[in-house]
Amino acid sequence: MPEHMGTHIDAPVHTVQGMWKTDQIPIEKLYGPGVIINVKEKVKSNPDYRVTVEDLMMWEKKFGEMPRHAIAIMNSGWSDKYPNKTQIYGSTQHTNISLFHFPSWHVDAVTWLINKRQINAVGVDTPSTDFGQASSYPCHLTLGKNNVVGIEYVANLDKVPENGSTIYVPVLKLFDGSGGPVRVFATFDDEPNITNAAAILTSLTSYFCFVIFFSMILLREIGL
């Protein structure tokens, strides 16, 4: 099983030498308040969309200032495309990365999350924390040099409230790893307005929901 397969993290050392390897990431960086940035509408008309600082401002306008040490994940609706590789990459040519079209973060938004909100990790429901048309990897590099974890191929984000969850990213503690597979999930209290989520939740006080995962089921099919 490769480190960067399925729902997985990029350890900071993946892009910047000397930064944390998978086994070195402090546990307190692997969970935090969930911040879901919903850009599904914007992505519909623009598969090259990148989450902007303005999107983050809009989230704060709705929910208040983001908690420190959050796990922020873009919900672009991209997980609906699995396991169709052509749809995931936005291209019929699956080995020519210059033709890829899928959304992700703008480096300015990532920088803002790091500097202004001390983010713990930044995630996407697409193949990369840099968008498909990226020719360089500014988000990867910014995350790496700031020792911030990236999370790729997250799923089921519609089932998690945009605010108020706790997201866990308990990556396998791979020795010397540059990343690693993980079954990300969220816990949150049941609320009357979260009907979809409620349906799959249990009756404990703190509810537990799968956030992630395409994981291996689909990965075996498409070999990502």
Min dist. Cβ of residue 56 to a copy of itself (A): 22
Rounded-to-integer distance, Cα 25 and Cα 11, Å: 8
Site string for a copy of itself, 24-53 (x = CB under 8 A): ---xx--x----------------------
Q: Does 196 bind a copy of itself (CB under 8 A)?
A: no
Minimum distance from residue 27 beta carbon to a copy of itself (Å): 6
CA 147, CA 24: separation in Å to the nearest integer?
Answer: 11
Give the rounded distance of the alpha carbon of 123 from its chain centre: 2
Q: Which two tokens stand for residue 83?
A: 């396991």
Between CA 46 and CA 63 the distance in angstroms is 26
Q: How many residues bind a copy of itself (CB under 8 A)?
A: 31
Q: Please name which of 160, 116, 131, 115 lies closest in space to residue 51, comparing C-alpha atoms.
A: 131
State phi, psi for 9 to the nearest 5 degrees. -105, 155
* 57 near a copy of itself, judged by CB under 8 A: no
Q: Is 220 in the site for a copy of itself (CB under 8 A)?
A: yes
Whole-number minimum distance, CB 194 to a copy of itself, in Å? Answer: 16
Contact call for residue 215 and a copy of itself (CB under 8 A):
yes
Q: Are 183 and 7 within 8 A, CB to CB?
A: yes
Binding marks (x or -) toward a copy of itself, 114..153, rule CB under 8 A? ----------------------------------------
